[in-house]
Amino acid sequence: MKHDVRKLLSVTAIAAVLVLPQTAWAADYTIRASHSEAPESPLHKGYEVFKAYVEGASAGQIEVIISPAGQLGSIKDGLEQVKAGAIQVAQADEQTLDAFYKPMMILATPYLFANDEEANQFLASDLFTETNLKMAEEAGLRMLSAASYGFRNFTNNKHPIKSAADMAGIKMRVPPSPMSLAMVQAMGGSPTPIPWEELYGAMQTGVVDGQENPIGVIHDYSFNEVQKHLTVDNHQLGLNSIVIGEAFFKSLPLELREVVATGAVMASATEYGERNYQSRVVTVDALRDRGMEIYFPSAEEVASFRDAVQQPMQDYLNQELDPAFVTAVYDEIGNIRQQRAAAAQ
């Protein structure tokens, strides 16, 4: 009985430490974290979970300071600051990491993943783990965790896009990414790079006919006001990741590295859970209620998109990366797909 009481007192003491106010301790380490999204976003909620977990589980040895909404600059700016050691943690997405470590461009490949779970299994694979460690060694950046913020989908004002052939003649806004340009071109569309800040106006004035973004983005930025048709083809995974500076990470004692890594995984799980519900339920219904015509292609129709871009994408990747790495990625995802199919039988 005495042992149980002592154990209870010990647990109570630990719990008390975890809820002490910030001023009750002087942290041994400070993590300054940057991201580009609003304080009410699912991503920021994830960062708040990261802060709460890391500060609590480290018993105050680590203080986390979050700078949201691009206060420290763009996503790329944040990663450059992490690389320079000015801050410790920053957001990355599928379009930015390749500027620091080129093989990461593989994550932006159109129609590479059929769903979020395929992507999650690939990110947990030995192949990607090795790629991430090489990025840490060569670029000084380590991905701690990642969360899908939804697959990108096409919208336009001309007509429903039900197959790759329907892309012909459409001026489709794309981000300034060679892969996005090649994708729309391969479908017969007219890819038009437009800065994000100018996109709404470009659609409003007819400079472009359409654009492609995750459903949550289409909803949050009211693209339904200037776009009529939405095709849920899920052509490219939107992936937010939490990246830490390798030098800082290695400077932490092993037990604190585990705390930080666990906190990042919890943060990404928080973001993914909320975004997944929003993009599949709330925002679809809301966009339909606002007058958008939403089309869900059949498996055969999605295949027409995928078939149109697969070879051009592989050719492009083979030019930019080691072809053996590109083959290994496609083989890994093929194996994941087979295993998932077998498990479903």
pLDDT digits (tens, 9 = 90+) for 185-194: 999 999 999 9
Domain boundaries, the chain: 15-344
1 pLDDT more than 50: no
pLDDT digits (tens, 9 = 90+) for 51-76: 999 999 999 999 999 999 999 998 99
Amino acid, res. 235: H
Q: What is the predicted pLDDT for the residue at 225?
A: 97
CB neighbours (10 Å) of residue 161?
Answer: 27
Q: DSSP for 44-110, please give it.
A: HHHHHHHHHHHHHHTTTSEEEEEE-TTTT--HHHHHHHHHHTSSSEEEE-TTTGGGTSGGGGGGG-T
Which one is predicted more confidently, 178 or 323? 323
2 pLDDT more than 50: no
171 pLDDT more than 60: yes
Least confident of 24-28, 249-253, 263-267: 24-28
Token couple for 131: 């790629």
Token couple for 189: 């569309």
Please, what CATH class does the domain formed by 15-344 belong to?
alpha beta
CA distance 291 to 29: 51
For residue 171, give Cα distances in angstroms to 80, 185, 205.
33, 10, 13
Least confident of 14-23, 74-83, 116-125, 308-317: 14-23
Find the mean pLDDT for residues 306-314.
94
Q: What is the predicted pLDDT for the residue at 153?
A: 97
- Kindly report the average pLDDT of the chain as a whole number: 92
CA distance 51 to 64: 5
5 pLDDT more than 90: no
CA distance 233 to 296: 7
CA distance 58 to 248: 16
Q: What is the predicted pLDDT for the residue at 286?
A: 96
Dihedrals φ, ψ of 202, to 5°? -65, -35
Find the mean pLDDT for residues 198-206.
96
Flag whether the pTM goes above 0.95. no
Q: What is the predicted pLDDT for the residue at 22?
A: 46
Token couple for 222: 């009211």
The DSSP letter of residue 197 is G
251 pLDDT more than 60: yes
Q: Are 276 and 148 in contact (CB under 8 A)?
A: yes
Collapsing DSSP states into helix, strand and coil, what is residue 253?
coil
Residues near 278 by beta carbon (within 8 Å), at least 6 away in sequence: 42, 216, 219
Residues near 222 by beta carbon (within 8 Å), at least 6 away in sequence: 200
Amino acid, res. 102: K
